[in-house]
Amino acid sequence: MRKGLTLILALALVLGNLGGVQAAPAAAPAQGAELVTEAASAILMDAESGQILYEKEPNKELAPASVTKLMTMLVAADAVESGRVKLTDKVTASEKACSLGGSQIYLEPGETFSLEEMLISIAVGSANDSCVAVAEHISGTHEAFVNEMNKKAQELGCKNTHFANAYGLPAEGHYTSAYDLALMGREALKYPLIKKLTAIKEYDLREGKFKLWNTNKLLWWYQGADGFKTGWTNEAKYCLASTVERDGLRLIAVVMGVPQVRGHFAESMKIYNYGFAKYAHKEFAPAAQKQGVVQVRKGIENEVVAVTEKPIGVTVEKGKDKNIWVETKLNPEVEAPVQQGQKLGEVLLYRENEVLNRVNLVAEKPIAKAGLYQQMTRTLHGVFGF
């Protein structure tokens, strides 16, 4: 009986195949299928290249809560770098600044701090009142400062971002996305001031009478963490934009809409664990490494050394670093005067025929233009040998 049933099943299978009935192919694995996060939206980005290593709903428009302050610090750092304001400036709190709720340092109208201390209170203590005080000091009004925030977002290529305030409390038309926050994080890494501020674990304000503890617990809990900003409201839930560097590999992670208390830390660490387990940074040349020599016409010296402007490397999936090669392109000559840091060429990093990274080659030192007598002497020497 069992043998007859087996034959019937085999015959049915053959007939099914003849009729074009085939088993469905296995579904292709989704990107990062081995990683599951409780965040409503999340992204993991290679800081150097901007390559996305993991994503979940990265362009979803969500309330960012106090992660907003990453852009607040970006606009403030721009103002400091351009010379519009100085870190030593005295910033006076207005009544408007002092009227805000939420996280704050409880500014009193007329109270003053240096701009640097105000920025520390934003980066470390997530102070809403300091955000308004800083905004008014830099742009005249809070509204004008918010316009600068939105302009900066557009310049960075943020497609799903609009700010309504500088501090992140819920407001109509105040939203961003995990991807856009990662872009802001990449930009923030260009500013030593922001890196310094967001890495501060604790700070004594008002001569030690008011203690600030950084709200970003990854600074204590995760090796290599040194930025950026947390956020929480009932609407936004728990959010975190952060960065970690290990063994030359710097990653940026953003999680938004995590429901659990401290879940934004747990989910971020899970995502970083995935990133550091799967990817590595391979460096091909450090900054200031000699890559060739360029001839200098009409200079007091005949040649100048070309060096890498910054390190050149690439983030690769572990075990998949084959077929990567380097091409050096140098101008054959340059005319004096040559400025230190002047571009003389570039180094390109390829995987097969795809450009993965490129770094400028620049002059190692300045070369002044030779005087007329020196140029004539050099010409005579070249023509007549004396």
Catalytic amino acids?
66, 69, 126
Element counts in the chain: helices (H) and strands (E): 11, 17
Cα separation, 225 vs 385, in Å, equals 63
CA–CA–CA angle 232, 238, 244 (5° rounding):
110
> Beta strand pairing status for 290-297 and 333-335?
parallel
Cα separation, 189 vs 252, in Å, equals 10
Q: Calculate the CA dihedral of residues 18, 23, 24, 29 and round it to 10 degrees.
A: -140
Q: What single string gives the DSSP state of each residue in 120-169?
A: HHHHTT--HHHHHHHHHHHHSSHHHHHHHHHHHHHHTT-SS-B-S-SS--
Dihedral (CA of 196, 197, 203, 205) sign: positive
